[in-house]
Amino acid sequence: MSPVGLDHDARTVAAAAAAAPDWAALAAAASTCVACPELAATRQHVVVGDVPVTGRPRFVLVGEAPGATEDETGRPFVGKSGALLDLLLGEAGLDRAEAAVLNVVKCRPPGNRTPRAPEVARCSGWLRRQLDLLGAPVVVALGLSSAKWFLGPRTVLAAVRGRPHELDGRAVWATYHPSAAIRFGPNGAPRAGLLADLTAVAATLEATP
């Protein structure tokens, strides 16, 4: 998925992740990861992700990286972007309690900068193993960084959103990040597009036996 060549730290993470037999073991291993020295030095928490109580999500939401509130709490999408995401999920007929909520990078980049390619590569092993363990048939990639992780580095969001892409037995939907919807306001294209895509995902899930 990630096009970046694996360095030693990325291979180490991938091996540790692959060895985790279940979610609890993976979360414990990821919580002490120091593969990215700058991120490890500045983070408060590794934001491993949320999973339903049952451990078997109907769908998976994958964002870019934790923000300040996520770093403080150790949970994904709990700040302003998370509040809007919850609102739009409800409007689309989706229940966050039935979703796994993850990020491509598990530690907050300083100043909320975009994760760098080596950071994405080193963290990729955790996300790959999470997706394998969860086994959800539908993944929603929120924002360009997440879309590129799934669909490749030359991905243009406007060209790939609005329809599913079959990858590794999963239907991957790429759409806007809630932060873009906030930036462009309640009448902006990102918010409308995000809601439309979530609504299409909901329809797909309803049609799935």
**Domain boundaries, given as residue ranges, for the chain:** 8-207
The CA angle 109-110-114, to the nearest 5 degrees, is: 45
How much is the pLDDT for 1? 40
Residue 6, pLDDT score: 63
Residue 41 in tokens: 């030095």
Tally Cβ neighbours within 10 Å of residue 39: 24
pLDDT of residue 7: 87
pLDDT at 207: 85
Which tokens go with 201? Answer: 């995902």
Q: What is the pLDDT of residue 195?
A: 98
Residue 25: the pLDDT is 98
Q: What is the DSSP letter of 162?
A: T
Q: What is the mean pLDDT of each run of 10 residues along the chain (209 residues)?
A: 64 97 97 96 98 94 98 97 98 97 98 96 97 97 98 96 96 97 95 98 89
Q: For position 97, what pLDDT does the model report?
A: 96
Let me know: does 177 contact 84? Beta carbons within 8 Å: no
Instruction: Give the pTM.
Output: 0.95
Q: What span, in angstroms and rounded, lies between the C-alpha atoms of 66 and 45?
A: 9
Can you give the pLDDT at residue 13?
Answer: 97
Q: In this predicted structure, what is the pLDDT of residue 209?
A: 64
Q: How far apart are the C-alpha atoms of 28 and 37, rounded to whole Å?
A: 19
Q: What is the pLDDT, as a whole number, of residue 107?
A: 98
Return the number of other C-beta atoms located less than 10 Å from residue 87's C-beta.
Answer: 14
Q: For the domain bounded by 8-207, which CATH number is listed?
A: 3.40.470.10
